[in-house]
Amino acid sequence: MSTPNYEIPTELRDFAEKSVDQARNAFGAAITNAHKAVDQFQTNSKTFQSTFQAAVAKGFDHAQTNASAAFDHAQKLVRAKDFREAYELQTEFVRSQIATLQAQAKEFGGLAQNAAH
């Protein structure tokens, strides 16, 4: 007994071939996009990490600067001859620290702005 020879219509084979090609292209595009997303994540992660490390280092630098200024100021205060001199020292210290804190805040703002880009 022989099996009937059934030929698959050309249209059906063409349709199946196009479907496989489309699936292959869609999968390739998905993989390409996944690679791009991972690369972008890694780039952003490295940028964030380096910016965070710079901010922490800058924070320690500022803390040391501010602590040194405070100790220097305390030393000047204990050497003051009278309340008037102590008041003048305190006024100058406050002015100086406000300017220093503004400059430090500007530096942190610059770091944050760089991280956003």
- pLDDT tens for 65-114 read 999 999 999 999 999 999 999 999 999 999 999 999 999 999 989 888 87
- pLDDT tens for 23-35 read 999 999 999 999 9
Cα–Cα distance list, 100 to 19, 41, 104, 116 (Å): 67, 36, 6, 25
pLDDT above 70 for 55: yes
Residue 70 contacts residue 89 (beta carbons within 8 Å)? no
